[in-house]
Chains A and B, each alone.
Chain A
Amino acid sequence: KQEVTQIPAALSVPEGENLVLNCSFTDSAIYNLQWFRQDPGKGLTSLLLIQSSQREQTSGRLNASLDKSSGRSTLYIAASQPGDSATYLCAVSASGSARQLTFGSGTQLTVLP
């Protein structure tokens, strides 16, 4: 059974700092990996999707990398802002069920002004 782990569970950084969020998964036979953002009381917003054949994806200040063989992904946030404060969730889909996601429990990020 696929298991997804995100460490740390919570992170607090000063504004302007570059930071890295980590995600690890136990079964490397994934179809893709997605990073989501969740604001309090809200649903999930997809940030980046990395296909299994890709190494990284970038969107603005966000960069996500994928090392399928080692079962790891990182989300890099450059020049963090207070508006980046949210919970970030990592999810993987299996090769045989590409749209069924297995989620990590998330990293709660606080960017202090």
Chain B
Amino acid sequence: NAGVTQTPKFQVLKTGQSMTLQCAQDMNHEYMSWYRQDPGMGLRLIHYSVGAGITDQGEVPNGYNVSRSTTEDFPLRLLSAAPSQTSVYFCASSSGQFNQPQHFGDGTRLSIL
């Protein structure tokens, strides 16, 4: 099984550009989420989804959009990139049962110039 797959692994954008970070999981997990990781800080939740068609905001949602049209995919969209969005982005998934560990992708390293 591939687990959680994130693409691209690296990306450089200019301020004001838009892009979509892709996340796919093949474990039929209901729950998916996006986090960002900045130096010296823990991961912070951006958006999450408890199933297809259902999304909600996390701690730091401004500047990001998400949608969940299928169980497998949960893309994260940057509408107008800003230097403050330079970060490493992680996608995670877990099953519908509570007290199950979350599975993380390898991350997308994004630089905004």
Contact = CB atoms under 8 A, between A and B. Distances in A.
Interface of A: 4, 31-32, 34, 36, 41-46, 49, 51, 89, 91, 98-106
A42 B104 CA distance: 9
A46 B42 contact: no
Interface residues of B, number: 26
Interface of B: 4, 31, 33, 35, 40-45, 48, 50, 58, 90, 92, 94, 98-107
Given A100-B33, A105-B40, 20 more contacts: A4-B42, A36-B104, A43-B4, A43-B90, A43-B104, A43-B107, A44-B43, A44-B90, A46-B102, A46-B103, A51-B99, A89-B42, A89-B43, A91-B43, A99-B50, A100-B45, A100-B58, A101-B45, A102-B42, A105-B41
Nearest to A45: B104
A109 to B, nearest CB: 16
Contacts of B31: 99
Contact of B106 (A43, A51, A102): A43
